[in-house]
Amino acid sequence: MARILITSALPYINGVKHLGNLAGSMLPADVYARFMRLQGHDVLAICATDEHGTPAELAAAAAGQDVRAYCDEQHEIQKSIGEQFGLSWDYFGRTSSPQNAELTQHFAETLEKNGLIAEVVEQQVYSIDDGRFLPDRYVEGTCPNCGFEKARGDQCDNCGKLLDPIELIEPYSAVSGSKNLEVRDTKHLQLKQTVMEERIRAWVDGADGWPSFAKSIAYKWLDEGLRDRTITRDLKWGVPVTKDGQPREGFEDKVFYVWFDAPIGYISATREWAEETGGDWESWWRTDKGADDVRYVEFMGKDNVAFHTVSFPATLLGSEEPWKTVDALKAFNWLTWYGGKFSTSNKRGVFMDQALELLPADYWRWYLTAYGPEGSDAQFTWDHFQSSVNKDLADVLGNFVNRILKFGASRFDGVIPEGGTPGEAEAWLESEVSTRLANIASHYEAMEFRKAAAETRALWAAGNEYLTRAEPWVHFKTDKDQAALGVRTGINLVRLCAITAQPVIPDAAGKILAALGLEGAADWPQGDAKAMLSALGPGRSFAPADILFAKIEDDQVAEWTERFGGAA
């Protein structure tokens, strides 16, 4: 039994995530966690909301709420929707937790002791009326490049030029509209990544278990040369900056930059979990306290790769403390909406809460796993979604389960019958089952989700093919024992299909197992195929399940296309 720590990139707090976010980290992390639990491993799956930063403040302001209240509410919403999607986190924490503040301050102070943090003086816009420094996006004014009058401090939306707030002509506060601004010197902390560069490169060199494109992203950053990063911001909402555990002089109105504290959230959420459950968080994160045998697997979208391969490791390695660093890293590409970007404002794309209004979670889980953006970007289209789900789930799996259970119920009174002599069809199936099960497991081990799903489906197809070969409906007329063998074997195969499908479609798998009278936990099938296919012996009763997956109809697709946008 191995110990496996799984994290998925933290969803940002400002609203419900879309299907691309789900497909790119949270869902595969869950599928992987479920598979590993089925294998009997000790799994700790951690996620959390990423709550700090300017966008959170802006979103709260837009909602007319206090930031804390806004985050409280949004956190609960995201947690609930995730659970409805079957995301089986062991803990879903928050980066706004006291645990995260403490750990973030600990890391910053430790890094400083190790000479990796410098205090620098920068020039920044100060709003006298607001009584605060204004971060980039809180200053607006006329663009010095194109004359656009509503340019933001970080960038002009009109000409696209990247700006420094102090360059703006006639700047004003986006908070109050006040023009009573001045440029003042202000102190910030910088993480000296330049000093860490060779060390991080060596660490990346030694890494395996990353997709090639993840490694190339890390090298690209390293090749361009790491820059020292300012890790503090002039915001109220965030982790306060401290020194020796006390508020740091000159930093009373500053907090750590969201990208500094967010990945630390993986650790702090584990600590939240430990405090709630009595678990031992250090045994998962400190190699001097038991984590040396932990395999740590991170899931993320490709936009997050640099932060996980360079920035976060810089924090961990720079501390000179025995923190666990990532072992295997799985990065996903983009799920695109008809080849373009998901866009809330343009009414393109489906968000997690909306998806659940349309169809149960398993439909989405299957589609996003079997056709997800794993090796390259993947296109979501309604037509593709409809045809994939209908064929795979309704026709191949649903129909297989349904036909064998119904036939067995009507011909053998819902009791697994005995009798019959295994022949060619059974031999073929045994060979098929052992091949497929081995493939499914090895693809999951390798975190090849599309391939694992394809093999899972191949097992379902083998079920249909077996019935074609065994023809119990034909034998029933002349040789009931032979028909009994087909039914018994078919039902055993249904069980195997359900168990192996659990990581991806847990609800449907549960319904199937319930139909077989197998409520509760089921472990990954053990033994040889012959034994697996006779695990459920004669005499056990079963009942046909309700239709597992209703087909998606054309008029539904038409309606959804109208509602959510489709081909551009």
Using CB under 7 A as the binding rule, whether residue 429 contacts RNA is answered as no
Q: Select the residue interacting with RNA from 63, 358, 461, 514 (CB under 7 A).
A: 461
Q: Is the dihedral of CA 335, 340, 341, 346 positive or negative?
A: negative
Using CB under 7 A as the binding rule, whether residue 216 contacts RNA is answered as yes
Using CB under 7 A as the binding rule, whether residue 451 contacts RNA is answered as yes
Using CB under 7 A as the binding rule, whether residue 311 contacts RNA is answered as no
Binding-site string for RNA from residue 345 to residue 374, where x marks contact by CB under 7 A and - marks none: --------------------------x--x
> Whole-angstrom Cα distance, residue 406 to residue 412?
10
* Number of neighbouring beta carbons within 10 Å of residue 184: 12
CB of 403 to RNA, least distance (A): 3
> Three-class SS of residue 59?
helix
Structure tokens at 540: 């056990």
Map 189-202 to HEC letters. Answer: EEECHHHHHHHHHH
- Comparing CB distances to RNA, the nearer of 161 and 540 is 161
Integer angstrom CA distances of residue 160 from 126, 145, 163, 207:
24, 10, 9, 37
Task: Please report, as residue ranges, which positions from 86 to 145 form the binding site for RNA (by CB under 7 A).
Answer: none
Using CB under 7 A as the binding rule, whether residue 230 contacts RNA is answered as no
Question: Could you tell me which residues come within 8 angstroms of residue 474 by beta carbon, excluding any fewer than 6 positions away?
Answer: none
Q: Select the residue interacting with RNA from 124, 190, 270, 336 (CB under 7 A).
A: 336
Using CB under 7 A as the binding rule, whether residue 277 contacts RNA is answered as no
Question: Could you tell me which residues come within 8 angstroms of residue 481 by beta carbon, excluding any fewer than 6 positions away?
Answer: 419, 420, 421
Using CB under 7 A as the binding rule, whether residue 341 contacts RNA is answered as yes
> Whole-angstrom Cα distance, residue 259 to residue 229?
10
If you count them, how many residues does the chain have? 568
Using CB under 7 A as the binding rule, whether residue 566 contacts RNA is answered as no
Q: Select the residue interacting with RNA from 69, 120, 543, 547 (CB under 7 A).
A: 547
> Whole-angstrom Cα distance, residue 41 to residue 49?
26
CB of 490 to RNA, least distance (A): 9
* Number of neighbouring beta carbons within 10 Å of residue 339: 11
Using CB under 7 A as the binding rule, whether residue 474 contacts RNA is answered as yes
Q: Select the residue interacting with RNA from 39, 434, 435, 464 (CB under 7 A).
A: 464
Using CB under 7 A as the binding rule, whether residue 391 contacts RNA is answered as yes
- Comparing CB distances to RNA, the nearer of 317 and 557 is 557
Q: Are 358 and 332 in contact (CB under 8 A)?
A: no
CB of 213 to RNA, least distance (A): 6
Q: Which of the ranges 117-125, 243-251, 392-400, 522-530 carries the binding residues for RNA, by CB under 7 A?
A: 392-400
Q: Are 256 and 271 in contact (CB under 8 A)?
A: no
Using CB under 7 A as the binding rule, whether residue 515 contacts RNA is answered as no
Using CB under 7 A as the binding rule, whether residue 16 contacts RNA is answered as no
> Whole-angstrom Cα distance, residue 167 to residue 136?
11
- Comparing CB distances to RNA, the nearer of 205 and 523 is 205
Structure tokens at 106: 């600990």
Using CB under 7 A as the binding rule, whether residue 85 contacts RNA is answered as no
Using CB under 7 A as the binding rule, whether residue 480 contacts RNA is answered as no
CB of 551 to RNA, least distance (A): 5
Q: Are 473 and 490 in contact (CB under 8 A)?
A: no
Q: Which of the ranges 6-14, 239-247, 275-283, 457-465 carries the binding residues for RNA, by CB under 7 A?
A: 457-465
CB of 14 to RNA, least distance (A): 16
Q: Which of the ranges 91-99, 208-216, 225-233, 311-319 carries the binding residues for RNA, by CB under 7 A?
A: 208-216
CB of 96 to RNA, least distance (A): 25
- Comparing CB distances to RNA, the nearer of 468 and 526 is 468
Integer angstrom CA distances of residue 350 from 62, 112, 225, 341:
22, 44, 38, 11
Using CB under 7 A as the binding rule, whether residue 219 contacts RNA is answered as no
- Comparing CB distances to RNA, the nearer of 387 and 541 is 387
Using CB under 7 A as the binding rule, whether residue 427 contacts RNA is answered as no
Helix or strand holding residue 101 (H, E): helix 98-113
Residue in 534, 492, 444 with CA at minimum distance from that of residue 34? 444
- Torsion angle of C-alpha atoms 427, 428, 430, 435, degrees rounded to 10: 150
CB of 421 to RNA, least distance (A): 21
Q: Which of the ranges 37-45, 169-177, 380-388, 494-502 carries the binding residues for RNA, by CB under 7 A?
A: 380-388
> Whole-angstrom Cα distance, residue 271 to residue 108?
18
Task: Give the residues across from 184 on adjacent strands.
Answer: 124
Using CB under 7 A as the binding rule, whether residue 227 contacts RNA is answered as no
DSSP H helical segments within 134-227, as ranges? 193-205, 212-224
- Torsion angle of C-alpha atoms 202, 207, 210, 216, degrees rounded to 10: 20
Q: Select the residue interacting with RNA from 404, 493, 513, 516 (CB under 7 A).
A: 404
* Number of neighbouring beta carbons within 10 Å of residue 399: 17
State in Å, rounded, how far the first CA of the chain is from the last one. Answer: 50
Strand segments (E) across 318-469: 328-332, 335-337, 378-380
Residue in 77, 81, 46 with CA at minimum distance from that of residue 59? 77
Using CB under 7 A as the binding rule, whether residue 507 contacts RNA is answered as no
Using CB under 7 A as the binding rule, whether residue 556 contacts RNA is answered as no
Secondary structure letter of residue 91 according to DSSP: E
Q: Which of the ranges 242-250, 263-271, 288-296, 405-413 carries the binding residues for RNA, by CB under 7 A?
A: 405-413
Using CB under 7 A as the binding rule, whether residue 450 contacts RNA is answered as yes
Q: Which of the ranges 225-233, 235-243, 307-315, 549-557 carries the binding residues for RNA, by CB under 7 A?
A: 549-557
Using CB under 7 A as the binding rule, whether residue 465 contacts RNA is answered as yes
Q: Which of the ranges 126-134, 212-220, 225-233, 529-537 carries the binding residues for RNA, by CB under 7 A?
A: 212-220
Q: Tell me the site size for RNA, rule CB under 7 A.
A: 58
Contact positions vs RNA (CB under 7 A):
155, 160-162, 212-213, 216-217, 220, 333-334, 336, 339-341, 371, 374-379, 381, 384, 387-388, 391-399, 401-404, 406-407, 410, 450-451, 454, 461, 464-465, 467-468, 471, 473-474, 547-551
